[in-house]
Amino acid sequence: MKKTFLFIFAFLIVFVISDRILNIVKPSVYKFSESLGWETKPDYKRSFFEKDLYGNQYKIDYQTDENGARVSGSKSAKYSILVIGDSFTMDAHTSNDLSWFGQLRLDLERVLNKEIIIYAIGGGGYGTNQQYIKTKNFLKNTKLEPKIVILQFCINDFMNNSYEWEKQTENYGQYLRRPYFVDNSHFYFDNSTLGKIMRNKYFSYLKSPNYLMLIFGIIESKYFPKSIKIDTKNESVVITKQLINKLSKLFDNNNFYIFNCKEGTEYPENIWFDVLDKSEVNILKNPSFEMKKISETKKIFFRDGGHYNELGNKLLGNLVSKDLKFLLE
């Protein structure tokens, strides 16, 4: 019994030390958040090298401001744009100014002939649920009154917004930590013992459990796949529509725009149009279709094969600005 106890104790010590080393070698841009599960750290700054899917190495200068927002443009600029997104906006796939919203700023500055500053908020893995809470908190803290607001949507947000859907996927580390919007009235956290552990402030500093949960989820989804009921997917459309309308009401709807950044084969083709039907938002032409075509001839992906590298971000920014310029003229 004593040997078993000592073995477990030694294992835990090695585990924690290894995890700390991992955090030093590759410090995360995210920190624990009681209301969101996780959020970007304020005043974070890191320069490092990454590779895209094709082995090309490039430098990334990633930083956030005092509110955890990525910023592109001069603080002296009077014309501000707020971008709300997930990992396609907030994760470290490019430098701030070389992100899709950085390219958008450059394009719009030429058209409008004025200095523009773009604040980008949200987080990797975020659904519209967390984006709404994050945006509400950000506006309260900054008093920002943006001229334009752009919601970068991703097709997997339908899953991220549905508790019943997401708990049947490999996203274990996320569904146990994120809040979900229910009954068109309030937010709900998973109340299981494991969920409470994953949302513990001190436990959240460990990186390894999240990796282990992800690996376990991927193995389970590959060898023991679950069929998602059509009712669950339909419910996610209703929830997503509620959240988008709720988010847009934080602003003047005439200045609120939305676009989908990437297609997904696991979702019905019409699901994007279903959620936008009768939504009270301005819809940008869907750049996800164009990006899918572009990917057949150009090398646009980050090393994970899903997100965009520098070229992909530039082309996405061009597509968004092209449609937005037409609406602003």
Q: What is the pLDDT of residues 141-171, one digit of tens each?
A: 999 999 999 999 998 899 999 998 888 876 6
- Report the amino acid identity of residue 108: L
Split at pLDDT 50, 70, 90, the class of 10 is low
* Residues β-bridged to residue 83: 120, 150
Domain that holds residue 159: 29-163+233-328
Residue 90 lies in a domain: yes
What are the residues whose beta carbons fall under 8 Å from the beta carbon of 325, sequence distance 6 or more?
107, 108, 111
pLDDT at 11 over 50: no
Residue 208 lies inside a defined structural domain of this protein: no
Query: Would residue 238 count as lying in a domain?
Result: yes
Q: How many domains does the chain have?
A: 1
Q: How high is the pLDDT of residue 208? A: 59
| Residues 206, 211: Cα–Cα separation, whole Å | 10
Q: Residue 275 domain-assigned?
A: yes
Alpha-carbon gap, residue 329 to 314, rounded angstroms: 22
pLDDT in tens, 78-99: 999 999 999 999 999 999 999 9
Residue 4 lies in a domain: no
In a domain, 263, yes or no: yes
Q: What is the pTM of this model?
A: 0.89
Max mean pLDDT range (9-13, 116-120, 178-182, 275-279): 116-120
Strand partners, 85: 122
CATH number of 57's domain:
3.40.50.1110
Give the pLDDT confidence score for residue 16 in this predicted structure. Answer: 54
Tell me how far apart the alpha carbons of residues 158 and 238 are, in angstroms, rounded to a whole number. Answer: 9
Structure tokens at 260: 């989908």
Report the mean per-residue pLDDT for the chain: 85
Lowest mean pLDDT among 12-16, 71-75, 193-197: 12-16
The pLDDT of residue 266: 60
In the predicted structure, residue 2 carries a pLDDT above the cut 60: no
Model pLDDT for residues 257-285, shown as the tens digit of each residue = 999 998 766 665 566 666 666 567 788 87
Element (H, E) at 260: strand 256-260
